[in-house]
């Protein structure tokens, strides 16, 4: 019997989606990552792609090799064994230069919350964040959750251009913009380390289920690590 909390639905004639939970937690995210790993290991070529996000895994399969009944049976069987699988996750540290010269919304946020900038730095950097989802843009990781004091709605009007490396907050999540892009999150700092680089193996330093901690750095360290101030 598979755990009754799993729900599996067809998504198309060659994809199914597995829901693991109704709530987001680092424990669930790690379970989803373990599922993806087990699925690829045991079904190999039958799996075209697996898209993980928050509470679900979308599995695209080779519908010329297996039908939707059989793939769901195999998925259920993997889900049944999931609790016995040990899956290691890692924690990475990212340097963070928190300053209004690279975080345009830092002072506004402090004022609105009646906090000092140092408070914001402390609250943001003492938390350990779980990678809940990767998407929106290559290497864009949704990290959660921030200390409730820091939760801030998205900007009413998104910026046309957000600098690469920008550290930002939207609602209860935080993220680093891996490349220059438009964006509506509140900018509080910048990470000088390139997060997504096609030339690196792996191109992204973390996966879903891993955790991230920000380490505050000073301006000169930021510059030394390759950071830019526009």
Partner 1 sequence: MTSILKVINPGLYSCVQDLGRFGQNHLGLTTGGCHDAYAFKIANALVGNPINSPALELTLGGFRAEVLAPITIALTGLNVGFTINNKNQALWQSIQVARGDVIEIATPHIGLRHTLAISGGVKAQSHFTSVSTVMREGLGCKIEANTLIKQQAPRFSKQKRLPANLIPNFCQNTPLNMVLALQHHEFSAADLNRFLSSSYTVTGQSDRMGYRIQGAALESPTGARFSEGINLGAIQVPADGQPIVLLNDRQTIGGYPKLGSVTALDCANLLQKRAGDEVAFNAISIEKAQNLNHLAQVKLQRALDALN
Would you tell me which residues interact with partner 1 (CB under 8 A)? 9-15, 17, 24, 36, 48-58, 60, 63-64, 67-68, 133-140, 142, 179, 196, 198, 203-204, 207-208
Smallest separation, CB 12 to partner 1 (Å) = 4
Q: Which is nearer to partner 1, 10 or 93 (CB)?
A: 10
What is the total residue count of the chain? 230
Q: Which is nearer to partner 1, 36 or 190 (CB)?
A: 36
Smallest separation, CB 52 to partner 1 (Å) = 6
Smallest separation, CB 87 to partner 1 (Å) = 14
Query: DSSP code of 208?
Result: T
Smallest separation, CB 202 to partner 1 (Å) = 8
Smallest separation, CB 207 to partner 1 (Å) = 6
Q: H/E element holding 11? A: strand 7-12
Helix (H, G, I), strand (E, B) or coil at 112: helix
Q: Which is nearer to partner 1, 42 or 220 (CB)?
A: 42
25 and 14 Cβ atoms separated by less than 8 Å: no
225 and 216 Cβ atoms separated by less than 8 Å: no
Q: Which is nearer to partner 1, 83 or 201 (CB)?
A: 201
SS (H, E, C) 25-86: CHHHHHHHHHHHHHHHHHHHHHEEEEEEECCEEEEEECCCCCCHHHHHHHHHHHHHHHHHCC
Query: DSSP code of 83?
Result: G
Q: Which long-range contacts (CB under 8 A, 24 or more apart) does 3-6 make?
A: 3/79, 3/80, 3/82, 3/83, 6/76, 6/79
Smallest separation, CB 96 to partner 1 (Å) = 21
Q: Which is nearer to partner 1, 12 or 116 (CB)?
A: 12
Helix (H, G, I), strand (E, B) or coil at 157: coil
Q: Which is nearer to partner 1, 156 or 198 (CB)?
A: 198
């Amino acid at each position: 019997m598979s755990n009754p909390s799993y729900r599996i639905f067809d998504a198309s004639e060659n994809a199914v989606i597995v829901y693991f939970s109704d709530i987001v937690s680092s424990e669930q995210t790690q379970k989803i990552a373990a599922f993806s790993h087990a699925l690829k290991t045991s079904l190999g070529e039958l799996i075209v792609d697996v898209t993980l996000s928050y509470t679900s895994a979308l599995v695209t399969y080779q519908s010329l090799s297996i039908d939707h009944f059989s793939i769901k049976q195999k998925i259920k069987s993997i889900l049944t064994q999931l609790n016995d699988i040990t899956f290691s996750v890692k924690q990475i540290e990212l340097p963070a230069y928190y300053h209004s010269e690279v975080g345009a919304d830092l002072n506004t946020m402090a004022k609105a919350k009646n906090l000092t900038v140092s408070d914001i730095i402390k609250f943001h950097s003492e938390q350990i964040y779980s990678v809940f989802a990767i998407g929106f843009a290559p290497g864009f990781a949704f990290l959660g959750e921030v200390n409730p004091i820091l939760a801030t709605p998205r900007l009413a009007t998104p910026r046309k251009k957000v600098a690469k490396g920008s550290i930002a907050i939207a609602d209860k999540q935080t993220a680093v913009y891996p490349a220059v892009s438009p964006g509506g999150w509140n900018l509080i700092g910048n990470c000088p380390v390139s997060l997504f680089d096609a030339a690196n193996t792996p191109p992204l330093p973390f996966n879903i289920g891993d955790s991230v901690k920000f380490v505050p750095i000073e301006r000169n360290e930021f510059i030394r690590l390759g950071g830019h101030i526009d």
